[in-house]
Structure 1
Amino acid sequence: MEHVEKIIDEKLQGKALVTEHKVQNGKKLFIESYGCQMNMNDSEIVASILAEQGYNTTQFLEEADLVLVNTCSIREKAEDTVRKRLQKYNAVKQINKKMKVGVLGCMAERLKEKFLEEEKIVDLVVGPDAYRDLPNLLAEIEAGRDAINVILSKDETYGDVSPVRLNSNGVTAFVSITRGCDNMCTFCVVPFTRGRERSRDPKSILEEIQSMVDKNFKEITLLGQNVDSFLWFGGGLKKDLNKASEMAQATAVDFAQLLNMCATRFPKTRFRFATSNPQDMSLDVIYTMAKHRNICKYLHLPVQSGSNKMLKAMNRQHTREEYKTLVDNIFKIIPEMSLSQDMIVGFCGETEEDHQDTLELMKYVKYDFGFMFTYSERPGTLAAKKMVDDVPHNVKKRRLKEIIDLQQEHALYRTQQHLGKIEEFLIEGTSKKNPNEWKGRNTQNTVAVFPKDDYKLGDFVMLKVEDCTSATLKGTVVGYSDNN
């Protein structure tokens, strides 16, 4: 699923957001997010809108005037978790009578009737394009009415809302450049929950990056359900490009151009982006990545399956052969490129032969990282309506294990390629296992841990890589990089 949605960081799930305290704000907002990085980013937009309405964030659910949960529809697990959280909020609501509860994000559209009318759990339901309407919706609740807005927009990109950075490490930040998705993959609910694709004005993207650079952020990830199909021609839905004037079409900005603008204007800032889609990945983007040292040599390139039959059933717009050719071209242009995959195991009708095709494709590419899941039917998708989820659970589990085991082998093969080399790493936090070690990432997105010495958070350092596991490099810093 072309998402950022996918890079689901388990550490961040359900973590309450904390923003700077505004003295004049008297009301308390408790907001937690589930699912993808886009959702985390959207919660920052919501916090920014509500700060203007007199709300400061709190980490204590019990004292909140307003509790919001930003939801995800990608996997069943996320949905179950949200339901459990709502029961917890309800228990607190019995004690704190003034507390209001709202559901934001991707589950809002699908479960609005259930939440508001049948289960009466929540006071407020707000879809991903309706966050600007929050002040009106809150006024509705104050007046004792249920409030709901799940209308999907053609042009909402929140380009002018400056997100409040929440729970940030102060070094890396995310900037949304597109919303929605036009790819109708049969397993995916995103086009229905987040609407059709539209891109944000490059000027507002560059302004937001400038404000991040001014605050000393060192690395920016450009976010979208499908970033490489970014196209700015004055606003509106991407599919309406042919209705735009000749001038607008001629001066349109595509993703390779946007990336070039970012890297040129901020030469000391590192750039990453997620997520890409194989059929939209133009080699112009790869050439742009090759041209700039500050664009990371890492590409998330979801394939979902190595079988043509499955790719067709999933309505992916590419074949295994086209994908392999793309990978060959990428490695020709940037031999040191690191690639990661998304894989869905046990999709409708998957045979043992299809599964072997996936394993073969993985051996061909040897991905550095992978995000692998068994297929679970999502209500509202084409697959749920038209296809039978017919692969037995135990078969799915066995196939998933084989895919994960193979990915582990490849991950170790890839980390071993760094042994003995001196590479640049950006220090982004303390190692989870050892408080005396920093952790950082190199251009390939590979994590290393190393002694802290006198180095600081946000420093670019040169590290001699001396040891590795399949997930982590270890080494010694030999000095600063010339990028500081």
Structure 2
Amino acid sequence: MISEKVIDEKRQGKPLITKDTKGNDKKLFIESYGCSMNLNDSEIVASIMAEQGFNTTTTLENADLVLVNTCSIREKAEQTIRKRLEKYNAVKKINPTMKVGVLGCMAERLKEKFLEEEKIVDLVVGPDAYRDLPNLLEEIEAGRDAVNVVLSKEETYGDLSPVRLNSNGVSAFVSITRGCDNMCTFCVVPFTRGRERSRDPKSIIEEIQDLADSNYKEITLLGQNVDSFLWYGGGLKKDFKKASGIAQASAIDFSQLLEMCAIAFPKMRFRFSTSNPQDMSVDVIHTMSRHKNICKYIHLPVQSGSTKVLKDMNRQHTREEYMQLVDHIFNIIPECSISQDLITGFCGETEEDHQETLSLMEYVKYDFGFMYAYSERPGTLAEKKMEDDVPLDVKKRRLTEVINLQQKHSAYRTKAFLGKTMEVLIDGTSKKSELHWKGRTSQNTTVVFPKENYKLGEFVNVKLLECTTATLIGKAVGYSDNN
């Protein structure tokens, strides 16, 4: 599983589908680009709009309202969205009553450009303002610009039950935090999603209970930085020190939340994403080791193997601290798989820095990774204060070396599973064969095996017989004890 991008979602740009609500007569066409948080946010938006009489449609030409949930993390993502807006506006000439809106991170960053300069959208809504959509639609009807990109200190959407879009009915995302306090110099997220705040654990458990009642079998706890989850009665994480002694003493951190989830739902599988090395505690690793239903997989972005580059990126960990964390993971959970995010050619990166990244990869031998060459993002600290001084051909050559090494390590990690029998959760039909199921192991490796009499959403023990670089091929030998 290798990508030149941070984001490797199979659902990029797909129109999202929900069950129709009886009596709703308006049509909503909604597409998402970017991270899992964006996909989850689109589910929240669909829930809000269902209350306003909208059912989803996959036919753009029929839509009364077209919304695109956007990403600002990569230049390519923004270019894709601009092309989609051109398409929407071409359709709008045929269907002039159709309204077009931009949601999410790009909305926050380019609000004036979209509304005033280019006049290519009717409304612009930031990640914390989705509840305001009904009011903004009224503003449009009254002939006024509709924009709300105010970043909230409180909004977590914890009381809303997201509509599950394009769901396989097996796996779902549950957001536990919003925003980010880590001012990584290459990243625009703190400026587009605001300060970090956590959801009430009670609302998280209730949402998971609803999903369990609907027969979902796997939950991914989601946040820009899940490990820094901290509930002390509400409020920003940065204000925790100002809270009362009682609030601080009774606070719930991520390892405690993870334990609560695992105990409350013993038959539910749990994953979490994304982790930041500076915030991942050994407590979380111990919690993972104690509970079979917490998947043995950690996405642990490193970004660079050079302490000097990490400092320039304002990452709050060194190369040595990262390696020590990896040692803790493998010591406590020897069977754990780890994946990475890596940037090549960041401002000031030397050949020596690049070699340190390659040597760190050799040390960890990641199961898979998401890799890309650095591209300057407007509004970030790096864009304002650093020179993008590594030539493009050097960035690309370094990226190729990183990808080639990752392919070698992915093959090594995948082959290590051969001959073993592992639990697999069936989450869909194989892309290459209607006669085969696909699913994932606890370690997040994809497994393909003959369907026989097994069904979607079942936990099956599969004997692993063959593999490609990133996919295991096997044969089911019976049900696991998790059904």
The normalised TM-score by structure 1 is 0.98
| SS of the residue 1:380 aligns to | coil
1:8 has 2:8 as partner: yes
- Mapped to 1, the partners of 2:12 and 2:328 lie a distance apart of 36
Q: Is the 8 A contact 1:137 1:147 kept in 2?
A: yes
| SS of the residue 1:347 aligns to | coil
1:63 has 2:62 as partner: yes
**Superposed displacement of residue 26, structure 1:** 1.0
Indicate the residue corresponding to 2:198 in structure 1.
Answer: 199
- Mapped to 2, the partners of 1:278 and 1:36 lie a distance apart of 19
Indicate the residue corresponding to 1:222 in structure 2.
Answer: 221
- Mapped to 1, the partners of 2:260 and 2:98 lie a distance apart of 46
1:361 has 2:360 as partner: yes
Question: How has the CA–CA distance of structure 1 residues 292 and 7 changed in structure 2, closer, same or farther, with 3 Å as cutoff?
Answer: farther
What amino acid is aligned across from residue 197 of structure 1 in structure 2? E
**Superposed displacement of residue 352, structure 1:** 0.6
Q: Aligned runs of 1:25-424 on 2, under 5 Å?
A: 25-424=24-423
- Mapped to 1, the partners of 2:7 and 2:374 lie a distance apart of 16
- Mapped to 1, the partners of 2:241 and 2:318 lie a distance apart of 27
Gaps in structure 1 of 5+ consecutive residues: none
Deviations 1:110-130 (A, max 9, x none): 111100001111110000000
**Superposed displacement of residue 469, structure 1:** 1.3
Q: Is the 8 A contact 1:462 1:480 kept in 2?
A: yes
**Superposed displacement of residue 198, structure 1:** 0.2
- Mapped to 1, the partners of 2:6 and 2:268 lie a distance apart of 25
Q: Is the 8 A contact 2:8 2:370 kept in 1?
A: no
- Mapped to 2, the partners of 1:248 and 1:442 lie a distance apart of 39
| SS of the residue 2:102 aligns to | strand
| SS of the residue 1:31 aligns to | strand
Q: Is the 8 A contact 1:19 1:165 kept in 2?
A: yes
**Superposed displacement of residue 7, structure 1:** 4.0
**Superposed displacement of residue 308, structure 1:** 0.9
- Mapped to 1, the partners of 2:448 and 2:283 lie a distance apart of 34
Deviations 1:368-416 (A, max 9, x none): 0100000000000000000111111111111101000000111111011
- Mapped to 2, the partners of 1:435 and 1:345 lie a distance apart of 39
- Mapped to 2, the partners of 1:94 and 1:54 lie a distance apart of 24
What amino acid is aligned across from residue 396 of structure 1 in structure 2? K
What amino acid is aligned across from residue 8 of structure 1 in structure 2? D
Q: Is the 8 A contact 1:173 1:220 kept in 2?
A: yes
| SS of the residue 2:110 aligns to | helix
What amino acid is aligned across from residue 309 of structure 1 in structure 2? K
Gaps in structure 2 of 5+ consecutive residues: none
**Superposed displacement of residue 8, structure 1:** 3.1
**Superposed displacement of residue 23, structure 1:** 2.1
- Mapped to 2, the partners of 1:409 and 1:78 lie a distance apart of 28
Q: Is the 8 A contact 1:8 1:37 kept in 2?
A: no
Aligned pair count reads 479
- Mapped to 2, the partners of 1:300 and 1:185 lie a distance apart of 17
**Superposed displacement of residue 434, structure 1:** 1.0
What amino acid is aligned across from residue 217 of structure 2 in structure 1? K
What amino acid is aligned across from residue 196 of structure 2 in structure 1? E
**Superposed displacement of residue 236, structure 1:** 1.1
- Mapped to 1, the partners of 2:114 and 2:153 lie a distance apart of 26
**Superposed displacement of residue 6, structure 1:** 3.7
- Mapped to 2, the partners of 1:72 and 1:147 lie a distance apart of 20
| SS of the residue 1:191 aligns to | helix
What amino acid is aligned across from residue 218 of structure 1 in structure 2? K
- Mapped to 2, the partners of 1:421 and 1:90 lie a distance apart of 54
Q: Is the 8 A contact 1:428 1:458 kept in 2?
A: yes
- Mapped to 1, the partners of 2:92 and 2:422 lie a distance apart of 53
What amino acid is aligned across from residue 376 of structure 1 in structure 2? S
| SS of the residue 1:467 aligns to | strand
What amino acid is aligned across from residue 381 of structure 2 in structure 1? L
What amino acid is aligned across from residue 131 of structure 1 in structure 2? Y
- Mapped to 2, the partners of 1:228 and 1:23 lie a distance apart of 40
- Mapped to 2, the partners of 1:260 and 1:172 lie a distance apart of 19
Indicate the residue corresponding to 1:445 in structure 2.
Answer: 444
Instruction: Using the TM superposition, name which of 197-206 and 106-115 deviates more.
Output: 106-115
Deviations 1:83-142 (A, max 9, x none): 001111111111101101100000111111100001111110000000001111111011
| SS of the residue 1:278 aligns to | coil
Question: How has the CA–CA distance of structure 1 residues 270 and 252 changed in structure 2, closer, same or farther, with 3 Å as cutoff?
Answer: same
- Mapped to 1, the partners of 2:424 and 2:31 lie a distance apart of 31
- Mapped to 1, the partners of 2:235 and 2:465 lie a distance apart of 51
| SS of the residue 2:278 aligns to | helix
Deviations 1:396-441 (A, max 9, x none): 1111010000001111110111111111100000111111110011
Q: Is the 8 A contact 2:6 2:372 kept in 1?
A: no
- Mapped to 2, the partners of 1:438 and 1:109 lie a distance apart of 41
**Superposed displacement of residue 324, structure 1:** 0.6
Deviations 1:303-330 (A, max 9, x none): 0000011001000000000111111111
The ranges of structure 1 where at least 4 consecutive aligned residues each deviate by more than 2 angstroms after the TM superposition are 5-8
- Mapped to 2, the partners of 1:434 and 1:263 lie a distance apart of 34
- Mapped to 2, the partners of 1:18 and 1:464 lie a distance apart of 35
Deviations 1:152-173 (A, max 9, x none): 0001000001000000000000
Q: Tell me the percent identity.
A: 77
Deviations 1:229-275 (A, max 9, x none): 00000111100001111111100000000000000000000000000
| SS of the residue 1:280 aligns to | coil
| SS of the residue 2:398 aligns to | helix
Q: Is the 8 A contact 1:101 1:122 kept in 2?
A: yes
1:460 has 2:456 as partner: no
Indicate the residue corresponding to 1:429 in structure 2.
Answer: 428
The normalised TM-score by structure 2 is 0.98
- Mapped to 1, the partners of 2:178 and 2:296 lie a distance apart of 24
